[in-house]
Homo-oligomer: A and B are copies of this chain.
Amino acid sequence: METKKAVNQISGRTDLAVELQEDIKDSGSVDGIRIITKVHPNKQMKETHITIENEEGERKLGKPIGNYITIESDQLCEGDTSYHEEMSETVLVHLKHLMKQKQKILLAGLGNRKVTPDSLGPLVVENLYITKHLLENHMIKEGKNMAAVAPGVMAQTGMETSEVIKGIVNQTQPELLIVVDALAARNSNRLNKTIQISDTGIAPGSGVGNHRKAITEETMGIPVIAIGVPTVIAVPTIVNDAMEQLLKALGKLDTKKVLESFSDEERYALACEVLKPHLADMFVTPKNIDEEVKTISYTISEAINRFVIS
Protein backbone atom coordinates (compact mmCIF):
# COMPACT_ATOMS: atom_id res chain seq x y z
CA MET A 1 0.00 0.00 0.00
CA GLU A 2 3.05 2.20 0.31
CA THR A 3 2.90 3.64 -3.14
CA LYS A 4 -0.70 4.67 -3.01
CA LYS A 5 -0.40 8.06 -1.48
CA ALA A 6 1.19 9.61 -4.48
CA VAL A 7 -1.21 7.87 -6.83
CA ASN A 8 -4.07 9.33 -4.90
CA GLN A 9 -2.65 12.81 -4.93
CA ILE A 10 -2.66 12.80 -8.68
CA SER A 11 -5.58 10.70 -9.67
CA GLY A 12 -8.08 11.33 -6.94
CA ARG A 13 -8.03 8.66 -4.27
CA THR A 14 -8.19 5.37 -6.16
CA ASP A 15 -5.68 2.90 -7.55
CA LEU A 16 -8.26 1.35 -9.88
CA ALA A 17 -8.32 2.33 -13.54
CA VAL A 18 -11.92 1.18 -13.67
CA GLU A 19 -12.87 3.82 -11.10
CA LEU A 20 -10.92 6.57 -12.81
CA GLN A 21 -12.64 5.71 -16.03
CA GLU A 22 -16.02 6.29 -14.39
CA ASP A 23 -15.09 9.95 -14.01
CA ILE A 24 -14.88 10.35 -17.76
CA LYS A 25 -18.54 10.72 -18.53
CA ASP A 26 -18.79 9.78 -22.20
CA SER A 27 -15.81 7.48 -22.07
CA GLY A 28 -16.82 5.46 -25.12
CA SER A 29 -15.70 8.23 -27.40
CA VAL A 30 -12.55 9.42 -25.62
CA ASP A 31 -9.46 9.51 -27.79
CA GLY A 32 -6.65 7.35 -26.52
CA ILE A 33 -8.75 5.18 -24.20
CA ARG A 34 -10.35 1.93 -25.35
CA ILE A 35 -12.75 0.07 -23.08
CA ILE A 36 -14.16 -3.42 -23.53
CA THR A 37 -16.56 -4.86 -20.98
CA LYS A 38 -17.52 -8.53 -20.66
CA VAL A 39 -20.03 -10.00 -18.25
CA HIS A 40 -19.85 -13.73 -17.51
CA PRO A 41 -23.46 -14.81 -17.20
CA ASN A 42 -22.85 -17.86 -15.01
CA LYS A 43 -19.78 -16.89 -13.12
CA GLN A 44 -21.29 -13.66 -11.75
CA MET A 45 -18.12 -11.99 -12.88
CA LYS A 46 -17.51 -8.79 -14.83
CA GLU A 47 -14.33 -8.03 -16.76
CA THR A 48 -13.33 -4.58 -17.92
CA HIS A 49 -10.37 -4.20 -20.24
CA ILE A 50 -9.13 -0.61 -20.40
CA THR A 51 -6.35 0.21 -22.84
CA ILE A 52 -4.65 3.56 -22.60
CA GLU A 53 -3.27 3.99 -26.06
CA ASN A 54 -1.43 7.30 -26.06
CA GLU A 55 -0.44 10.32 -24.05
CA GLU A 56 -3.85 11.91 -24.38
CA GLY A 57 -5.40 8.84 -22.74
CA GLU A 58 -2.66 8.87 -20.15
CA ARG A 59 -3.36 12.47 -19.27
CA LYS A 60 -7.13 11.98 -19.19
CA LEU A 61 -7.11 8.88 -16.98
CA GLY A 62 -4.08 9.75 -14.89
CA LYS A 63 -2.56 6.34 -15.52
CA PRO A 64 0.36 5.37 -17.80
CA ILE A 65 -0.06 3.91 -21.29
CA GLY A 66 -0.87 0.20 -21.09
CA ASN A 67 -3.49 -2.44 -20.35
CA TYR A 68 -5.65 -2.53 -17.21
CA ILE A 69 -7.83 -5.58 -16.77
CA THR A 70 -10.33 -5.48 -13.94
CA ILE A 71 -12.17 -8.59 -12.78
CA GLU A 72 -15.05 -7.87 -10.43
CA SER A 73 -17.13 -10.36 -8.50
CA ASP A 74 -19.01 -10.31 -5.22
CA GLN A 75 -17.79 -13.83 -4.55
CA LEU A 76 -14.08 -13.04 -4.70
CA CYS A 77 -13.84 -12.68 -0.93
CA GLU A 78 -16.23 -15.53 -0.12
CA GLY A 79 -15.23 -19.03 0.78
CA ASP A 80 -16.78 -21.06 -2.06
CA THR A 81 -13.94 -23.25 -3.34
CA SER A 82 -15.42 -24.21 -6.71
CA TYR A 83 -15.93 -20.58 -7.57
CA HIS A 84 -12.33 -19.73 -6.80
CA GLU A 85 -11.08 -22.27 -9.31
CA GLU A 86 -12.98 -20.40 -12.03
CA MET A 87 -11.66 -17.08 -10.80
CA SER A 88 -8.08 -18.40 -10.72
CA GLU A 89 -8.57 -19.66 -14.26
CA THR A 90 -9.74 -16.20 -15.41
CA VAL A 91 -6.76 -14.50 -13.78
CA LEU A 92 -4.48 -17.10 -15.37
CA VAL A 93 -5.81 -16.37 -18.86
CA HIS A 94 -5.04 -12.68 -18.53
CA LEU A 95 -1.65 -13.25 -16.91
CA LYS A 96 -0.61 -15.59 -19.72
CA HIS A 97 -1.63 -13.03 -22.30
CA LEU A 98 0.34 -10.21 -20.65
CA MET A 99 3.39 -12.35 -19.81
CA LYS A 100 4.20 -13.10 -23.43
CA GLN A 101 6.14 -16.33 -23.02
CA LYS A 102 8.55 -15.14 -20.36
CA GLN A 103 10.08 -18.13 -18.57
CA LYS A 104 12.06 -16.65 -15.69
CA ILE A 105 9.95 -14.68 -13.28
CA LEU A 106 10.40 -12.84 -9.99
CA LEU A 107 7.27 -12.10 -7.98
CA ALA A 108 7.41 -9.39 -5.31
CA GLY A 109 4.65 -9.49 -2.70
CA LEU A 110 4.52 -5.87 -1.56
CA GLY A 111 3.05 -4.66 1.72
CA ASN A 112 3.29 -5.14 5.47
CA ARG A 113 2.46 -8.66 6.61
CA LYS A 114 1.73 -7.31 10.10
CA VAL A 115 -1.12 -5.01 8.96
CA THR A 116 -3.98 -7.23 7.86
CA PRO A 117 -5.34 -5.32 4.82
CA ASP A 118 -1.78 -4.73 3.62
CA SER A 119 -0.72 -8.37 3.94
CA LEU A 120 -2.06 -9.52 0.56
CA GLY A 121 1.32 -9.49 -1.20
CA PRO A 122 3.22 -11.41 1.52
CA LEU A 123 0.34 -13.93 1.76
CA VAL A 124 0.47 -14.61 -1.99
CA VAL A 125 4.21 -15.28 -1.70
CA GLU A 126 3.61 -17.79 1.12
CA ASN A 127 1.48 -19.99 -1.11
CA LEU A 128 3.51 -19.83 -4.31
CA TYR A 129 5.10 -22.83 -5.93
CA ILE A 130 8.74 -21.65 -6.04
CA THR A 131 10.82 -23.46 -8.65
CA LYS A 132 13.96 -21.44 -9.42
CA HIS A 133 16.21 -23.39 -7.03
CA LEU A 134 14.60 -26.72 -7.95
CA LEU A 135 15.16 -26.18 -11.67
CA GLU A 136 18.68 -24.85 -11.25
CA ASN A 137 19.67 -27.75 -9.00
CA HIS A 138 18.01 -30.23 -11.38
CA MET A 139 15.49 -31.41 -8.76
CA ILE A 140 12.66 -30.81 -11.23
CA LYS A 141 12.85 -30.69 -15.00
CA GLU A 142 9.79 -28.75 -16.16
CA GLY A 143 7.85 -25.59 -15.44
CA LYS A 144 8.58 -21.88 -15.36
CA ASN A 145 11.48 -20.55 -13.29
CA MET A 146 9.72 -18.79 -10.42
CA ALA A 147 11.36 -16.87 -7.58
CA ALA A 148 9.62 -14.64 -5.04
CA VAL A 149 10.32 -12.14 -2.31
CA ALA A 150 8.27 -10.23 0.26
CA PRO A 151 10.49 -7.18 0.72
CA GLY A 152 8.50 -5.54 3.54
CA VAL A 153 7.64 -1.83 3.71
CA MET A 154 9.83 1.17 4.31
CA ALA A 155 8.82 1.45 7.98
CA GLN A 156 10.26 -2.05 8.48
CA THR A 157 13.34 -1.88 6.26
CA GLY A 158 14.25 1.80 6.05
CA MET A 159 14.69 1.28 2.31
CA GLU A 160 12.57 2.18 -0.68
CA THR A 161 10.76 -1.00 -1.73
CA SER A 162 11.65 -0.17 -5.32
CA GLU A 163 15.35 -0.08 -4.39
CA VAL A 164 15.19 -3.48 -2.69
CA ILE A 165 13.48 -5.03 -5.69
CA LYS A 166 15.76 -3.36 -8.22
CA GLY A 167 18.79 -4.72 -6.37
CA ILE A 168 17.39 -8.25 -6.47
CA VAL A 169 16.39 -7.91 -10.15
CA ASN A 170 19.87 -6.71 -11.09
CA GLN A 171 21.52 -9.55 -9.20
CA THR A 172 19.27 -12.46 -10.23
CA GLN A 173 18.29 -11.32 -13.74
CA PRO A 174 14.67 -12.46 -14.13
CA GLU A 175 12.94 -11.80 -17.48
CA LEU A 176 9.73 -10.51 -15.92
CA LEU A 177 8.65 -8.98 -12.61
CA ILE A 178 5.20 -9.48 -11.11
CA VAL A 179 4.25 -7.21 -8.20
CA VAL A 180 1.26 -8.05 -6.02
CA ASP A 181 -0.07 -5.31 -3.76
CA ALA A 182 -3.08 -4.19 -1.77
CA LEU A 183 -4.72 -1.13 -3.28
CA ALA A 184 -7.03 1.68 -2.24
CA ALA A 185 -10.47 1.90 -3.82
CA ARG A 186 -12.88 4.78 -3.95
CA ASN A 187 -16.08 2.77 -3.94
CA SER A 188 -16.60 0.57 -0.91
CA ASN A 189 -18.55 -1.86 -3.09
CA ARG A 190 -15.31 -2.82 -4.80
CA LEU A 191 -13.40 -3.59 -1.60
CA ASN A 192 -12.08 -7.16 -1.71
CA LYS A 193 -14.24 -7.81 -4.78
CA THR A 194 -11.93 -6.65 -7.55
CA ILE A 195 -8.65 -7.83 -9.05
CA GLN A 196 -6.77 -5.43 -11.30
CA ILE A 197 -4.04 -6.75 -13.59
CA SER A 198 -1.93 -4.31 -15.57
CA ASP A 199 1.25 -4.36 -17.63
CA THR A 200 2.35 -0.91 -16.51
CA GLY A 201 3.82 -1.72 -13.11
CA ILE A 202 3.34 0.64 -10.21
CA ALA A 203 3.98 4.25 -11.08
CA PRO A 204 3.31 6.68 -8.26
CA GLY A 205 3.77 9.61 -10.59
CA SER A 206 6.20 12.45 -10.40
CA GLY A 207 4.43 14.88 -8.12
CA VAL A 208 6.35 17.21 -5.83
CA GLY A 209 7.33 15.48 -2.62
CA ASN A 210 7.21 12.04 -4.16
CA HIS A 211 10.27 10.31 -2.76
CA ARG A 212 9.11 6.83 -3.62
CA LYS A 213 10.30 5.38 -6.84
CA ALA A 214 8.27 3.62 -9.47
CA ILE A 215 8.36 -0.11 -10.12
CA THR A 216 8.04 -0.07 -13.89
CA GLU A 217 9.77 -1.44 -16.97
CA GLU A 218 11.61 1.88 -17.18
CA THR A 219 13.10 1.63 -13.67
CA MET A 220 13.51 -2.15 -13.49
CA GLY A 221 14.77 -2.84 -17.00
CA ILE A 222 12.32 -5.74 -17.48
CA PRO A 223 8.55 -5.88 -18.09
CA VAL A 224 6.48 -5.45 -14.92
CA ILE A 225 2.99 -6.86 -14.38
CA ALA A 226 1.04 -5.51 -11.41
CA ILE A 227 -1.73 -7.48 -9.70
CA GLY A 228 -3.71 -5.46 -7.18
CA VAL A 229 -6.78 -5.86 -5.01
CA PRO A 230 -8.44 -2.93 -3.24
CA THR A 231 -8.55 -3.75 0.47
CA VAL A 232 -8.84 -0.26 1.98
CA ILE A 233 -10.46 3.10 1.35
CA ALA A 234 -8.75 6.31 2.37
CA VAL A 235 -10.63 8.20 5.08
CA PRO A 236 -11.08 11.39 2.98
CA THR A 237 -12.75 9.27 0.28
CA ILE A 238 -15.35 7.92 2.72
CA VAL A 239 -16.01 11.38 4.09
CA ASN A 240 -16.28 12.84 0.63
CA ASP A 241 -18.86 10.21 -0.33
CA ALA A 242 -20.84 10.95 2.80
CA MET A 243 -20.73 14.66 2.16
CA GLU A 244 -21.93 14.13 -1.38
CA GLN A 245 -24.92 12.27 0.00
CA LEU A 246 -25.44 14.92 2.64
CA LEU A 247 -25.36 17.75 0.15
CA LYS A 248 -27.88 15.89 -1.96
CA ALA A 249 -30.11 15.53 1.07
CA LEU A 250 -29.72 19.18 1.94
CA GLY A 251 -30.34 20.10 -1.66
CA LYS A 252 -33.69 18.39 -1.50
CA LEU A 253 -34.63 20.70 1.32
CA ASP A 254 -33.89 24.07 -0.18
CA THR A 255 -30.20 24.69 -0.53
CA LYS A 256 -29.84 24.07 -4.23
CA LYS A 257 -27.49 27.00 -4.25
CA VAL A 258 -25.26 25.29 -1.68
CA LEU A 259 -25.13 22.07 -3.63
CA GLU A 260 -24.15 23.82 -6.80
CA SER A 261 -21.51 25.87 -5.10
CA PHE A 262 -19.16 22.86 -4.77
CA SER A 263 -17.38 21.23 -7.67
CA ASP A 264 -16.16 17.64 -7.25
CA GLU A 265 -12.65 18.87 -6.65
CA GLU A 266 -13.75 21.47 -4.15
CA ARG A 267 -15.78 18.93 -2.25
CA TYR A 268 -12.83 16.53 -1.99
CA ALA A 269 -10.61 19.38 -0.81
CA LEU A 270 -13.26 20.25 1.76
CA ALA A 271 -13.40 16.63 2.91
CA CYS A 272 -9.67 16.71 3.50
CA GLU A 273 -9.95 20.05 5.26
CA VAL A 274 -12.72 19.11 7.65
CA LEU A 275 -10.71 16.07 8.70
CA LYS A 276 -8.15 16.39 11.42
CA PRO A 277 -4.77 16.16 9.65
CA HIS A 278 -3.73 12.79 11.10
CA LEU A 279 -6.93 11.19 9.78
CA ALA A 280 -5.63 11.59 6.25
CA ASP A 281 -3.13 8.86 7.12
CA MET A 282 -5.75 6.41 8.33
CA PHE A 283 -7.66 3.86 6.33
CA VAL A 284 -11.04 2.15 6.38
CA THR A 285 -11.27 -1.62 6.19
CA PRO A 286 -13.91 -4.27 6.97
CA LYS A 287 -13.94 -6.16 10.27
CA ASN A 288 -13.50 -9.56 8.63
CA ILE A 289 -10.53 -8.36 6.57
CA ASP A 290 -8.44 -11.33 7.77
CA GLU A 291 -10.71 -13.90 6.16
CA GLU A 292 -11.21 -11.91 2.97
CA VAL A 293 -7.53 -11.20 2.36
CA LYS A 294 -6.65 -14.86 2.98
CA THR A 295 -9.28 -16.07 0.53
CA ILE A 296 -8.22 -13.65 -2.22
CA SER A 297 -4.53 -14.43 -1.71
CA TYR A 298 -5.27 -18.11 -2.41
CA THR A 299 -7.05 -17.25 -5.66
CA ILE A 300 -4.10 -15.20 -6.88
CA SER A 301 -1.39 -17.66 -5.83
CA GLU A 302 -3.38 -20.51 -7.38
CA ALA A 303 -3.55 -18.63 -10.69
CA ILE A 304 0.20 -18.06 -10.65
CA ASN A 305 0.94 -21.65 -9.60
CA ARG A 306 -1.08 -22.89 -12.58
CA PHE A 307 1.01 -20.64 -14.76
CA VAL A 308 4.24 -22.02 -13.28
CA ILE A 309 3.39 -25.63 -14.04
CA SER A 310 1.85 -24.83 -17.45
Interface positions of A (Cβ within 8 A of B): 1, 79, 112, 114-116, 125-126, 129-134, 137, 145-152, 154-159, 163-164, 166-172, 188-189, 211, 233, 235, 238-239, 241-243, 245-246, 249-250, 253-255, 257-258, 261, 270-271, 273-276, 278-279, 281-291
Known: A159-B168, A239-B239. 16 other contacts (CB 8 A): A79-B129, A115-B287, A115-B290, A125-B156, A133-B158, A148-B158, A149-B164, A167-B169, A189-B278, A239-B242, A241-B274, A241-B275, A245-B275, A255-B258, A281-B286, A282-B285
Residues of B within 8 A of A151 (CB): 149
Given known A-B contacts A125-B156, A157-B130, A287-B281, A253 and B246 have beta carbons under 8 A apart: no
Closest 3 CB pairs of A and B: A132-B158, A167-B171, A245-B274
Q: How far is the CB of A261 from chain B (nearest CB, A)?
A: 8
A146 interface neighbour in B148, B158, B170, Cβ under 8 Å: B158
Residues of B within 8 A of A241 (CB): 274-275
Residues of B within 8 A of A274 (CB): 241-242, 245-246, 249
Copy count, this protein chain: 4
Nearest CB in chain B to that of A158: its residue? B132
Residues of B within 8 A of A145 (CB): 158
Q: How far is the CB of A177 from chain B (nearest CB, A)?
A: 13
Residues of B within 8 A of A156 (CB): 125-126, 130, 148
Is A152 within 8 A of B149, CB to CB? yes
- What is the bound-complex CA distance between A152 and B270, given in angstroms? 40
Residues of B within 8 A of A276 (CB): 188-189
Residues of B within 8 A of A270 (CB): 246, 249
Is A172 within 8 A of B163, CB to CB? yes
Nearest CB in chain B to that of A166: its residue? B171
Residues of B within 8 A of A261 (CB): 253
- What is the bound-complex CA distance between A243 and B257, given in angstroms? 18
Is B155 within 8 A of A288, CB to CB? yes
Nearest CB in chain B to that of A278: its residue? B188
Is A258 within 8 A of B249, CB to CB? no
Residues of B within 8 A of A79 (CB): 129
Is B132 within 8 A of A159, CB to CB? yes
Is A158 within 8 A of B131, CB to CB? yes
Q: How far is the CB of A241 from chain B (nearest CB, A)?
A: 8
A246 interface neighbour in B146, B246, B282, B283, Cβ under 8 Å: B246
- What is the bound-complex CA distance between A166 and B253, given in angstroms? 52
Given known A-B contacts A149-B152, A157-B147, A255-B255, A188 and B131 have beta carbons under 8 A apart: no
Q: How far is the CB of A72 from chain B (nearest CB, A)?
A: 16
